Amino acid sequence: MSLDPRAENVLKNLVETYIQQGQPVGSRTLSKLPQLGVSSATVRNVMSDLEELGLITSPHTSAGRIPTAQGYRLFVDSMIKASPFTQSAIKQLTERFDNESDPDALLSHASDVLSELSHFAGVVVLPNHAAARFHQIEFMRLSEARVLAILVTEDGRVQNRVLPSSESFSDAELVEAANFFNSRYKGNTLNDVRRLLIEDMHKDNDRMHTINRTAMQAASRVISEEESDKNKKDVVLSGEQKLLDVPDLCQIETLQRLFDAFKTKRDLLDLLDRSLKAEGVSVFIGEESGYLALGECSVIASPYQVDGKVLGTLGVVGPTRMAYSEVISVVDITAKLLSQALTKSSRA
């Protein structure tokens, strides 16, 4: 939608005033703003036009107006600039991420940072383990009947499994098995590794060296268990209790629907997945989400990655009346710092 400069200026200042004050904005309030420089009657006429376009609405009999989801959308798309972080603030945030090296801890830390800086709920969708790329596996003999398998993915995640063994292998044989496996499957996703394992074991079962066949069977079990674990903790949420203090979300029914969505996670996951292929930050305002539970909220999200490969998304869930330029900057810098930290962790 395209507005003339005067209408655009009125809408921009109305939205900014409403975000700051939280009260319906009247024409007299706007006409007093030096950046408008027009009379109250002129503002009133422009506001009437904006209301006909569905960009603002009157919540009750008050003469004031508030933005609609469509009005917020136009404001976000064409009237704001992200609030940049100072170099000092970026340095402090970078140091906070540098203090963590474990991927799981970094993801949890990112969720905390999002909530802390935005004052709303921070959410991080964990990587899909089955889509993670295999880096290497190691086998360590614990006893004659037990072997420890250590699976490492390219994003730095490590999974350990103790596996029973019907045969006794030397340390040298276990190293040989790991080397064979790593050279054959490195760089494939866990889903692909599992498929290739099944194919290779069927094709080469008679000719394959016993230790290599055992390595394949052991690795297949580790990957299968890793896939079954991936849904146990698919979202990290922080600061959702802060939404209890947001006046715009004070109605019990609104909060109940929202916290039910946090509990089930399905709708939230689906919404955040939409931003996986987006470049930069995505903003979902009110009913744009398509979910009743998020009808009074906005979700600002961005993908994070390792070495250029997108692993998941993170974002902020808050009321539609939020300081969009500031929260967009928070989400953007957190996604970049998390990506840098995870990449660094994967190379360690």
When pLDDT is cut at 50, 70 and 90, the band that residue 239 belongs to is: very high
**pLDDT at residue 228 greater than cutoff 60:** no
pLDDT of residue 211: 61
**pLDDT at residue 81 greater than cutoff 80:** yes
Claim to verify: residue 192 and residue 291 sit in the same structural domain: no
Claim to verify: residue 264 and residue 196 sit in the same structural domain: no
Please give the average per-residue pLDDT across 69-79, as a whole number: 95
When pLDDT is cut at 50, 70 and 90, the band that residue 129 belongs to is: low
Claim to verify: residue 208 and residue 292 sit in the same structural domain: no
- Final residue of a domain: which of 41, 58, 78? 78
CATH number at residue 43: 1.10.10.10
Q: Which position has the higher pLDDT, 231 or 115?
A: 115
Mean pLDDT of the chain: 86
When pLDDT is cut at 50, 70 and 90, the band that residue 212 belongs to is: low
- Final residue of a domain: which of 78, 105, 139? 78
Claim to verify: residue 257 and residue 339 sit in the same structural domain: yes
When pLDDT is cut at 50, 70 and 90, the band that residue 225 belongs to is: low
5-19, 176-190, 258-272, range with greatest mean pLDDT: 5-19
When pLDDT is cut at 50, 70 and 90, the band that residue 61 belongs to is: low
Please give the average per-residue pLDDT across 171-179, as a whole number: 85
pLDDT of residue 27: 93
Phi, psi angles (nearest 5°) of residue 35 = -75, -15
CATH number at residue 96: 3.30.450.40
CA–CA separation, 11 and 5 (whole Å): 10
**pLDDT at residue 79 greater than cutoff 90:** yes
- Final residue of a domain: which of 196, 229, 262? 229
Q: What pLDDT, in 10s, does the model give residues 309-342? A: 888 899 999 999 999 999 999 999 999 999 999 9
Cβ count within 10 A of residue 306: 25
pLDDT of residue 224: 65
The 3-state secondary structure of 235-249, one letter per residue: EEEECHHHHHHCHHH
When pLDDT is cut at 50, 70 and 90, the band that residue 165 belongs to is: confident
Claim to verify: residue 183 and residue 301 sit in the same structural domain: no
Please give the average per-residue pLDDT across 233-259, as a whole number: 89
Q: Which position has the higher pLDDT, 196 or 20?
A: 20
Claim to verify: residue 210 and residue 247 sit in the same structural domain: no
Please give the average per-residue pLDDT across 272-289, as a whole number: 88
Please give the average per-residue pLDDT across 76-93, as a whole number: 90
Residue/partner pairs of 52-60 with CB below 8 Å, 24 or more apart: 53/1, 55/1, 55/11, 56/11, 56/14, 58/24, 59/24, 60/24
pLDDT of residue 168: 77
Claim to verify: residue 289 and residue 150 sit in the same structural domain: no
Claim to verify: residue 137 and residue 117 sit in the same structural domain: no
Q: What pLDDT, in 10s, does the model give residues 32-52? A: 999 888 899 999 999 999 999
Claim to verify: residue 119 and residue 165 sit in the same structural domain: no
**pLDDT at residue 121 greater than cutoff 70:** yes
Residue percentage of the chain with pLDDT more than 70: 89
Claim to verify: residue 237 and residue 316 sit in the same structural domain: yes
Q: Which position has the higher pLDDT, 81 or 72?
A: 72
Please give the average per-residue pLDDT across 283-287, as a whole number: 93
Q: Which two three-digit tokens encode residue 173?
A: 């044989």
Number of domains in the chain: 3
Is the dihedral angle over the CA atoms 60, 319, 247, 267 positive or is it negative? positive
pLDDT of residue 110: 95
Radius of gyration of the chain (CA): 26
Where is average pLDDT lowest: 73-77, 228-232, 320-324? 228-232
pLDDT of residue 190: 78
pLDDT of residue 66: 95
List the domain range (segments joined by +) for residue 301. 87-126+233-347
CATH number at residue 221: 3.30.390.60
Claim to verify: residue 11 and residue 66 sit in the same structural domain: yes
Claim to verify: residue 247 and residue 146 sit in the same structural domain: no
